């Protein structure tokens, strides 16, 4: 069975601080995908990134960066120089990469990030 | 390209009624998944449809059902509503394992 753990329930930072959101996953599959989504107060889940289990390269997109470490089953997300607009709930998710499983996502419980001015 | 659209956005029903929610995927996407989000249970997978066939199903009672049409639009139905069905229902369309979500339908059961 798959499981995603986001141990941080809530994080509060002051604007311009860097913040890292932790994600630890469990799966028996050798091939899988990892995702991060942002959910602002409006409710819509906004896709941020997808990472294939074979690709352990870290990725940077503007102020966002992701650190994927297979050895520790972690896929952490860092926001550099946080802004008030980053305030949202962030979800980490996992899906198997086999046809029989389709595109089912297993989500973590989310981390609520509050960025104070 | 237009994003995933869901209708209605808000819905209020009473216990025992049934409800139908609609989802139109991104053009070209053939897979549509549904999720339920509640404060207590978080985001839970309901089911996924691909080319009009249910490809995967979560652990929800039979009161929850869905279908997909030939144009990939999908509907989900909940019969005999219970108070605990109050939730945000999210639809996602996917292509190449990347899932994009709609704004959701917030269902309140009184």
Q: How confident is the model at residue B10 (pLDDT cuts 50, 70, 90)?
A: very high
Condensed to tens digits (0 to 9), the pLDDT of residues B41-94 reads 999 999 999 999 999 999 999 999 999 999 999 999 999 999 999 999 999 999
The answer to whether the Cβ–Cβ distance between B33 and A106 falls below 8 Å is: no
Report whether pLDDT(A12) > 80: yes
Listed residue (B3, B17, B32) closest to B78, CA to CA = B17
- Chain A contact for B90, CB < 8 A? yes
Which residue's entry shows tokens 């996502």? A105
CA distances from B79 to A65, B44, B66, B82 (A): 43, 18, 11, 9
Instruction: Write out the two tokens for A8.
Output: 């941080």
- Chain A contact for B30, CB < 8 A? no
For range A84-112, the mean pLDDT: 89
The mean pLDDT value of chain A amounts to 93
Nearest to A45 among B42, B56, B90 (CB): B90
Other Cβ atoms within 10 Å of B69 Cβ, number: 12
Report whether pLDDT(A101) > 70: no
Q: Where are the beta strands (DSSP E) in chain A?
A: 3-5, 10-14, 19-21, 24-26, 32-39, 46-52, 59-61, 64-69, 74-79, 88-96, 106-107, 111-116
- Chain A contact for B46, CB < 8 A? no
Instruction: Write out the two tokens for A111.
Output: 């981390």
Q: Which residues of B touch A101 (CB under 8 A)?
A: 56
B105 by DSSP, 3-state: which?
strand
Whether B90 contacts B37, CB under 8 Å: yes
Q: What pLDDT is stored for residue A69 in this prediction?
A: 94
């Amino acid at each position: 069975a798959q499981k995603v753990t986001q141990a941080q329930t809530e994080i509060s930072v002051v604007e311009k601080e860097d913040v890292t959101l932790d994600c630890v996953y469990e799966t028996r599959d050798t091939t899988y995908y990892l995702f991060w989504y942002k959910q602002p107060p409006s409710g819509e889940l906004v896709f941020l990134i997808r990472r294939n289990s074979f690709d352990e390269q870290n990725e940077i997109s503007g102020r966002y960066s992701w650190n994927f470490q297979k050895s520790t089953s972690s896929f952490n997300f860092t926001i550099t120089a946080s802004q008030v607009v980053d305030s949202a709930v962030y979800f980490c998710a996992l899906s198997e990469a086999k046809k029989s499983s389709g595109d089912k996502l297993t989500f973590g419980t989310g981390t609520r990030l509050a960025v104070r001015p | 390209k237009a994003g995933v659209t869901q209708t209605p956005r808000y819905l209020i029903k009473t216990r025992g009624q049934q409800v139908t929610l609609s989802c139109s995927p991104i053009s070209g996407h053939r897979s549509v998944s549904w999720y339920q989000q509640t404060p207590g249970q978080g985001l839970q997978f309901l089911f996924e449809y691909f080319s009009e066939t249910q490809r995967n199903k979560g652990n929800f009672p039979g009161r929850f059902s869905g279908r997909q049409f030939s144009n990939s639009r999908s509907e989900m139905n909940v019969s005999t509503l219970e108070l605990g069905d109050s939730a945000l229902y999210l639809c996602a369309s996917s292509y190449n394992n990347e899932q994009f979500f709609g704004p959701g339908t917030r269902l309140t059961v009184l």
